[in-house]
Amino acid sequence: MPAGVGAALAARSGAGPETPLPYTEEISHPALAAPEIARGRFRRAPDGALIREQTAPREETSRIGAGYITVMRPGETGTELLPIPDEMAPMLDAMRALLAGAPEAAIARSSAELAAAPEGWRLALGFAGGGPGLTLYGCGDRLTGLEIAEPGGTRRRIRFGAP
């Protein structure tokens, strides 16, 4: 892996749980008339779970652990517990590994293809079983975004930085 890509992943992956990563997410699907835009921040919990704190268009906090996702919304008393479908697990495990400071582990669990992109580099990770792919984007030693291509045509494009 080129030094810039490794440095970008290590810098982002090694950030502590107190270091949130602001994001803007564009969600598109063939059935949607226009993409949905969400904003918030990612961080990791000390136990390795990925925390997604969405601030717009509605507030909710998702905790992505090994085999589950919990969703909490302000004003609601319960927590929604969702099992992770088998085809989604490898991609979500890779995201958790990246944020836990183990980019090599995430890459080792996938087929990886590195290529030049218009504004830097692109690292595409594919997973066995036909689940969603994960593509990371960066420039030099900075991770700038990622894209998730889900079965069924949903695409999630996440740009990192101030929302």
Q: Look up the pTM and report it.
A: 0.79
Distance separating alpha carbons of residues 143 and 146, to the nearest angstrom: 8
Confidence category of residue 107, pLDDT binned at 50, 70, 90: confident
User: Exposed e or buried b for every residue in 56-71, given b needs 16+ CB within 10 A?
Assistant: eeeebbbbbbeeebeb
Question: Please, what CATH class does the domain formed by 3-160 belong to?
Answer: mainly beta
Alpha carbon 62 to its chain's center: 12
Give me the residue spans of the domains in the chain.
3-160
Distance separating alpha carbons of residues 63 and 65, to the nearest angstrom: 6
Mean pLDDT of the chain: 80
Query: Is the per-residue pLDDT at 3 higher than 60?
Result: no
- Looking at residue 100, its pLDDT comes to 65
How far separated are the first and last CA of the chain, in Å rounded?
A: 29
Distance separating alpha carbons of residues 93 and 155, to the nearest angstrom: 18
DSSP code string of 97-115: HHHTT-HHHHHHTSEEEEE
The pLDDT tens digits of the residues spanning 49-95 come to: 888 899 999 999 999 888 888 889 888 877 777 788 888 888 888 87
Distance separating alpha carbons of residues 135 and 57, to the nearest angstrom: 24
The single-letter DSSP state of residue 84 is P
Nearest CA to 49 out of 21, 24, 70 is that of 70
Give me the percent of the chain exceeding a pLDDT of 70: 84
Spatial contact of 13 and 5, defined as CB atoms under 8 Å apart: no
DSSP code string of 13-71: HT--TT--EEEEEEEE-TT-SS-EEEEEEEEE-TTS-EEEEEEESS-EEEEEETTEEEE
* 135-153: average pLDDT: 83
